[in-house]
Structure 1
C-alpha cells in the first residue's frame, strides 16, 4: 500500500537525486505550478539533484526553452533527459531506416535537428508514406482527433512492414483543462493492428539510462536506492520506476485526479482502489508536488 504524504520534504532527505516528470507535476502545459517549483528549489538548496525526465518528443534544449516560457526557473533543476533525445539517437543510427514518414505538428520538427552525440549518423530523409522505410511519430497531426483516424495509413504501413519509432510514449496529457492525445496513443493503435512500435521514453529503459548519464555528469556514484522518481503517469512514471527498482512519488492530482478524488489530497479509499485497479505500487502518493 502506498504511503500518503503532505509534502516532498517529509521524505526527500532519504534521496540524493530526483527524477521528476514535467507535465502534470511541474507545469500544466501552460504555466509552472508554484508549489512544485518551490519544493524543488528547497530540495536543491539542501544539496539534492533534480533531473527532469520527460516524454517530450524534443531535445533537452527545446524543453529548456519551453520551461522558460512556462516560468519554471533554472534554479529548480540541474539537468533534463527527454524521450526525444533517446528516440533521436535511435533514428540517427537507422532504427527505422533512412527514408521516414513523419507524424507530428510543426513545432515537433526540431526532432530532425542534428545530434552531435552520434558518430557517422544516418542521413535521414523525410518522405511521403508510400516511399517510407519507417515512421517517426512525435505526436498526432491533430491532438484532439481520435487516434483511429490514422487507421488507413497504419494499415498500409503494417502491410509494408514499417516500424514506428515513438518519440513520446504518453497516451494523453492535460493542457490546462483540455486533454490531448500523444504519440503513445498512435503507437498503441499501430501495435494493436499488428505493426511494430519502438519506444524510448518512460516506462522503457532507454530514457532511464539517459537520465542516469545526465545525473552521473553532475555527481558520480549515486545508487538507484538514493533516487526518487516523481510523476503523475501510472503507466509511464510509476511503472517505469517500478521496472527500474526506483522508489516513486505518485502525483494524484494530475492524470488521475478524477479517479482518486483529488482536491488538495486524494481520498484514501479512492487512491487505494485506483492503485489496485491499475496494478501500480508507488512508494508514496501526494495530491500535488509541494
Structure 2
C-alpha cells in the first residue's frame, strides 16, 4: 500500500502516532565519532514521552559490543531500552541451529570481521579456518575500511564460489561511513559474491527475521504503533514497510548526496524506486 510522505522538522509533530521506536545507529545517531547532540536530546525526549526506544543495527558485532560503543560515543545504556544487532541475531541462530539458514551450515567457518572482532563466534561450536579450501561456510560480519573494496576479495571468493560455499552475511548494508566518506559495506561484498556465482543469505535489515526479533523484544506490540527511524531506504524503510510499521527517513545519512537538502518528494521517490518504498515521514536530521 502506498503512503503519503510528509517532511517534518521534529518527532514531536508525530509523537501521538507511535508507542515504540526502532532506531538505526550509523548515520542516524552518529557517524563513528560522537552521538549527534540533537539525536541524544531526541532519545531523551522520546523516553520522557513514554516511548520505548530499541536501537536496531545492521552491525555484525554482538549487541553488547554495540552498547559499549554507543556508551563511548556519548549514549549510555540507561538512555534507551535495549539494542538488537544483526550480529546478535546471527549469533543466536548459529547457537540454536534450529532453522535455516543456520541449521544446514557446517562447523568450519571462514570468518570476515571488522577490526578482528570475534564476538560473533564466541561460545559457538565452530572451527575458524583461514583458508576457504578448508571451510564449510563463510561468515561475513564486518569489513575493515582498507578491505572494503569487493575486488580485493575476487580471488578468494571465486575459489569459494567454485566450491559452492554458502555465505552468511550478518550486515546487509551496502555502504558504510569510512574515514574518507561512504565506502562499500559487507552487503556489497555479499552481492559481489553472488555475482561470482556464490550463494549468500542475509541477516539484518530489511529482512523479516530482524524485525520479528525486534517485535518480540518489545513484547509483540501492534506493528502499526512502531516507528522505524533510519537513513537507508533500502534497509530501514523497506524493512519497516514490509513489517507493516511506520517509517521515517533521515536524509543526512546514506542518501546525503541526493537527499540532504531535498524536501521535494520526487527526489525521494527516485531514490526509493517505487511508491511502495516511500517512507511515511522524512527529516534532515534526527531531532525532537
Does the TM-score normalized on the shorter chain lie above 0.5?
A: yes
Aligned to 1:117: none
Q: Which residue, out of 248, 270, 274, partners 1:276? A: 270
Structure 1 position 258, deviation (Å): 1.3
Structure 1 position 186, deviation (Å): 0.9
Any conservation in 2 of the 1:16–1:48 contact (CA below 8 Å)?
yes
Aligned to 1:239: 238
Aligned to 1:124: 126
Aligned to 1:259, what secondary structure does the other structure show?
helix
Aligned to 2:154: 151
What are the superposed Cα offsets for residues 150-175 of structure 1, whole Å, 9 maximum, x if unpaired?
Answer: 11111111111110010100111124
Aligned to 1:196: 199
Any conservation in 1 of the 2:215–2:223 contact (CA below 8 Å)?
no
In the alignment, structure 1 residue 267 sits paired with structure 2 residue 230: no
Any conservation in 2 of the 1:164–1:196 contact (CA below 8 Å)?
yes
Aligned to 1:79: 82
Unaligned residue ranges in structure 2 (runs of 5+) = 98-102
What are the superposed Cα offsets for residues 25-53 of structure 1, whole Å, 9 maximum, x if unpaired?
Answer: 11111110110111111111121100100
Any conservation in 2 of the 1:202–1:237 contact (CA below 8 Å)?
yes
Aligned to 1:109: 118
CA RMSD of aligned residues (A): 1.7
Aligned to 2:218, what secondary structure does the other structure show?
helix
Structure 1 position 286, deviation (Å): 0.1
Aligned to 1:136: 139
Any conservation in 2 of the 1:241–1:247 contact (CA below 8 Å)?
yes
What are the superposed Cα offsets for residues 217-256 of structure 1, whole Å, 9 maximum, x if unpaired?
Answer: xxxx520010000000110101111111111000001111
Aligned to 2:248: 249
Give 1:170-249 correspondences, 5 Å limit: 170-175=173-178, 178-216=181-219, 222-249=221-248
In the alignment, structure 1 residue 14 sits paired with structure 2 residue 17: yes
Any conservation in 1 of the 2:237–2:247 contact (CA below 8 Å)?
yes
| Partners of 2:196 and 2:133 in 1: CA distance | 19
Any conservation in 2 of the 1:86–1:207 contact (CA below 8 Å)?
yes
Aligned to 1:118: none
Structure 2 length as normaliser, TM-score? 0.90
What are the superposed Cα offsets for residues 77-135 of structure 1, whole Å, 9 maximum, x if unpaired?
Answer: 10111100111223332443100111123342111112xxxxxx6x2110121100100
| Partners of 2:184 and 2:255 in 1: CA distance | 16
Structure 1 length as normaliser, TM-score? 0.89
| Partners of 1:52 and 1:142 in 2: CA distance | 24
Unaligned residue ranges in structure 1 (runs of 5+) = 115-120
